[in-house]
Every structure is written in C-alpha cells, then in structure tokens.
Structure 1
Amino acid sequence: MNKAMRNPLMYTLFLIPTFIGIILFFIYPVINAAFYSFTDWNGIAKTYNFTGFANYTKAMSQSAFWVSVRNNGFFILFSVFIQVPLIILFSLLIANVKKLKGLYKTAVFMPSVMSTAVIGILWGFIYEPDIGLFNHVLGLFGIEKIYWLSDRSWAMISILITNAWQWTGFYIVMVLAAIISIPKELDEAAMIDGATGFQRAMRITMPLIMPIVSVVIMLSIAGAMKAADIIIVMTKGGPAGSTEVMATYMLKHSITSFKYGYGNSIAVLIFIFTLIITALYQVLVARRTERIEY
C-alpha cells in the first residue's frame, strides 16, 4: 500500500474525479453563460443571433438593474456591519455558558438546516399586518401597524432580518469552534493577572479568532451576492421591485420573460461583481489578518 501511494499515478487517479466535477459543474457553466450572454437566445429556439455587448449595454442602462445592485449592496452591508458583530457577540456568550451549551448551539444552528420556503412562510406570518407578532407587539404600545412586506420603506429591512436569522447560527458554530480551540491556559493566565471577562474577550479571544471571522465575512459577502430564494418566497422582488436583487432580476428575465441571453449577461455580471468585491476584501482586509498559531 505504501509503495502504491508513492506512485504519482495514484494521486492523479484520485484527482481526476474532482477535476471532472469542477469542469462539468463550474468551468463549463461559466463558459456557457458567457457565450450565450452575447446572443439573443430565448432558451427554447434552436437558432440565435450574436448581439455583441448589446445585453450588457441594456443591463447597464436599466434603472431596475441598478436597484438590484443597490439591494445586493444592502445585503453585504447588513451582513458585514450588523450580522457579523452579532455572530461574534452570541459566540462569546455561548462559549462562556456553563450549562446546556449543547442546547444553545443546537438552537441557534436549527434555522440553518430549515428549508428557506418554510422560513419564508414562517416569517410571513410574523410580518402579517393584522395578526402578525411584530404588529401585535407594536399595538401594545399604541403604534400603528406596519405593512412590513408591502411597504417599500420596510420590505428590504424585513428581508434582511429574515435572512440573517436563517444563517447567523451557521456562522456562530464556526466562530464557536475557533473560540473553543483557544488554549484555556491563555484565558486562565489572564484571569490570574486580574483581567476582566471583557478584557479577556477583547485582548485574547478576538485577536485569536480573527482568521475565522475573516472567513465568515467572506462567506457572508458571497452569500449576499447570490441571495435569491428568500426573496422569491417572501416578496418575489416587490413591492415595485424594491427588494429585487441581481439573482432574482436574472431569473425574472431569463426564465419568466424567455430572455435567456440577457439573463446570462446578468449572471456574468454577478460573477464579475462578486469577483471584484472578494478580491478587494482579500487585498484590503483579509491579508492583514495573520494566521494565528499557538
């Protein structure tokens, strides 16, 4: 067995299935989407015409497209500046719980394994104007009911809260794993020196978990750029396109309107925007987060 594993051919045989999977499910779809983005194909006909950059020019000139780009920006900002700090806070709190820690970890992780359709319907009842939980609580304080999903002023923030509720637990488990892996001797030494819990969290725990926090931010950005399912379930991009994101805008035109070529140009733009944002994050932020070894 050892002799066989020293043979480079064995490694090649193990790698071939992975390479085939990458080619079939990543490289080919990207090339295919890029190709059809330069055509007027409707997704059904056997023939199509090459239109050059017409689809891209059309997208850039559509105000609805830029609204969807703005909404993806809202997803990113909410994830990075509100969701991630909450993830860190809850992770620190759960890590310091003495009893029922497993129960808390299971409770926060549960929404991540639930179907998005179920979550969308559940939160739809919570946001319901007449019998929903939120408006019932507001009514106790004499506040007028809010049309959470049909008011342009509230629809986007309602989607963001629901999406954060679904995925926060997944990231909490990741950060918790990083916190638990920190040697207890470091925390105990700080306690002997008289450091408070807050000081230990800020001076010891936070610096040591920054690499995994950087990964969480990266995953949050990627998730924000491909967000679609929760919007389709809850608002379908409404009211009046106020919750439309690039992914739902793409689906609306490529599938519903049979503008497959145009839809593929949107898909390519999503890919390019995601690549640019993640590259900027890597250059400006992630590289400054050194790998911690202890």
Structure 2
Amino acid sequence: MNKALRSPTIFLLFILPALILFVMFFIYPIFSSIYYSFTSWNGVSAHVKWTGLENYTKALEQKRFWVSVQNNGWFIVFSVFIQVPLIILFSLLIAHVKKLKGLYKTTVFLPSIMSTAVIGILWGFIYEPDIGLLNQILGTFGIKPIYWLSDERYAMLSILITNAWQWTGFYIVMVLAAILSIPGELDEAAAIDGASAFQRAVRITLPLIRPIISVVIMLSIAGAMKAADIVLVMTKGGPAGSTEVMATYMIKYAITNFKYGYGNTIAVLIFIFTVIVTVLYQLLIARRNERIEY
C-alpha cells in the first residue's frame, strides 16, 4: 500500500477529483469574470461586445460605486474597532464563568446559525418606527421615534449593529476555545503572585491568544468585503443608495439591470480590493503575530 501511494500516477488519481472541482468552481469563474468584465453583455444573448476598459472607467467615475466602497470600509472599521474588542471582552467574561458556561456559549452562538433573512426581518421589527422595540424603549426617555432604516443618518449604523449581532457569537466561540486551551497553571501562578483579574487578562491571556485574534480580524475583514445579504434583506441598498455595498451594487447591475459585463467588472474590483486589504493586513499586522507555544 505504501509503495502504491508513492507512485505519482496513484497520487494524481487521488487529487484529480478535487483538482477538477477546484478548477470548475474557482479558477474558471475567476477567469470568466475577468473576460466578461471587458465586455458589454446582458448575460443572455449570444452577442458579446468587447469594450476594453470602458466598464472599469465607468465604475471608477460612478459616485454610487465609491459610496458602496465607503460602506464596505465602514463594515471593516466597525468589525475591527468595535466588534472585535466586544468579542474579546465577552470571551474573557464567559471563560471565567463557573456555572452554566455551556449555556452561555450556546446562547451567543445561536444567531450565527440563523438565516440572514430571518435576522434581517427580526431586526426590521426591532427598528420599526412606530411599534419597534428600540423606539419603544427610547420613548420611555422622551425620545421621539427614529426612522432607523429609512433615514440616511441611521440606516448604515443599524445594518452594522445587526450584522455584528449575528456574527459576534461565532467569533466568541473561536476566541473562547483559545482562552480555555491556555494552561490554568499560568493564571493560577499569576494570581498567587498578586496579579488582579484585569492584569492577568492583559498580561497573560491577551498575548497568548493574539494569533486567534489575528484570525478573527482577518475573517471579519473578509466578511465585510463580501457583505450583501443583510443589506438586501433590510434596506435593499436604500435609502437613496446610502447603504449600498459593492456586492449589492454588483447584483443590481448584473441581475436586475441585465448589465452582466459591468456586473463582472464590479466583481473583479471587489476581488482586487479584497486582495489589497488582505495583503496590507498581513504585511502590517498579521505577520507580527508569531505562533505561540506553551
């Protein structure tokens, strides 16, 4: 058996099915999108008109496209600077709970396994101006109803909060697993030496879970760049395009308006921007988080 596995032919036969699927569903779609991004095509007809860089020029000159880029940027900023610190905080709190720890882990994880459509509809009721829970609570303090999803000042923030609520639990479970894998002797020794809970968290726990925090940030950035479903369910990019993100902008042109060539241009730009952000993060931050052994 070992001799057979060393044969290049046998090895190729083992990897060939996975390789074929990888080419069909990853490599081919990428090159197909790149090709059609240089064309004018409605996605149905047999006629495909080559337009060169016209689609890219059009996209980069469109104000709504740059609004969508900015909104993706807000997703990244909110995830990295607000969501991630909350993830770390809740993970530390749950890690030190003595009773019902499993219940807390299950509770925070539940939103991440729910459909985004369900999450969007649920929070749509919470944000409802007249009978929504949020405005009902604010009304007890004498605050007038706020149109959370139809006011340009609040719509994007409302979506960011909803998106964070859905995915925070997923990342908490990841960080919590890293915290619980730290040998208890380290924390006990620090406690004996007189270190407070805050000092132990800052000086011991956080440095040791830095690699997983880096992974969480990376996943948050990737998720922010492909955000679409929560926006479509809650606002469809409105009001007046103020909550449009690159993915919803692409969907509207490629599917709704039958401008398949231009839609592929947006898809390629999303890919390029994602690669740029990812590479910058890896070069500036992630590479400093070396693997920690204990």
Question: TM-score normalized by structure 1?
Answer: 0.98
| Equivalent AA in structure 1 for residue 65 of structure 2 | F
CA–CA distance in structure 1, aligned partners of residues 114 and 227 of structure 2:
16
Q: Which residue matches 1:227?
A: 227
| Equivalent AA in structure 1 for residue 176 of structure 2 | L
CA–CA distance in structure 2, aligned partners of residues 283 and 6 of structure 1:
37
Q: Which residue matches 1:238?
A: 238
> Does residue 45 of structure 1 match 2:45?
yes
5 Å matches for 1:175-186?
Answer: 175-186=175-186
Q: Given the superposition, is the C-alpha separation of residues 257 and 2 from structure 1 closer, same or farther in structure 2, using an over 3 Å criterion?
A: same
Look up the SS of the partner of 1:185 in the other structure.
Answer: helix
How many residue pairs are counted as aligned between the two chains?
294
> Does residue 268 of structure 1 match 2:268?
yes
Of 2-11 and 92-101, more deviation after overlay is shown by 2-11
CA–CA distance in structure 1, aligned partners of residues 206 and 17 of structure 2:
40
CA–CA distance in structure 2, aligned partners of residues 68 and 196 of structure 1:
45
Q: Percentage identity across aligned positions?
A: 75
CA–CA distance in structure 1, aligned partners of residues 8 and 173 of structure 2:
38
CA–CA distance in structure 2, aligned partners of residues 203 and 11 of structure 1:
48
CA–CA distance in structure 2, aligned partners of residues 69 and 227 of structure 1:
11
Of 241-250 and 13-22, more deviation after overlay is shown by 13-22
Structure 1 gaps, min length 5:
none
Offset at residue 13 of structure 1 (A): 3.0
Offset at residue 54 of structure 1 (A): 0.2
Offset at residue 192 of structure 1 (A): 1.3
CA–CA distance in structure 2, aligned partners of residues 176 and 5 of structure 1:
39
CA–CA distance in structure 1, aligned partners of residues 14 and 182 of structure 2:
34
CA–CA distance in structure 2, aligned partners of residues 42 and 205 of structure 1:
54
Q: Deviations over 1:91-139 (max 9, x none)?
A: 1011110000000000000000000110000000000000001100000
5 Å matches for 1:93-172?
Answer: 93-172=93-172
Look up the SS of the partner of 2:39 in the other structure.
Answer: coil
> Does residue 70 of structure 1 match 2:70?
yes
Offset at residue 213 of structure 1 (A): 0.4
Q: Which residue matches 1:249?
A: 249
Question: TM-score normalized by structure 2?
Answer: 0.98
Q: Given the superposition, is the C-alpha separation of residues 5 and 165 from structure 1 closer, same or farther in structure 2, using an over 3 Å criterion?
A: same
Q: Given the superposition, is the C-alpha separation of residues 184 and 31 from structure 1 closer, same or farther in structure 2, using an over 3 Å criterion?
A: same
Look up the SS of the partner of 2:49 in the other structure.
Answer: coil
Offset at residue 9 of structure 1 (A): 4.2
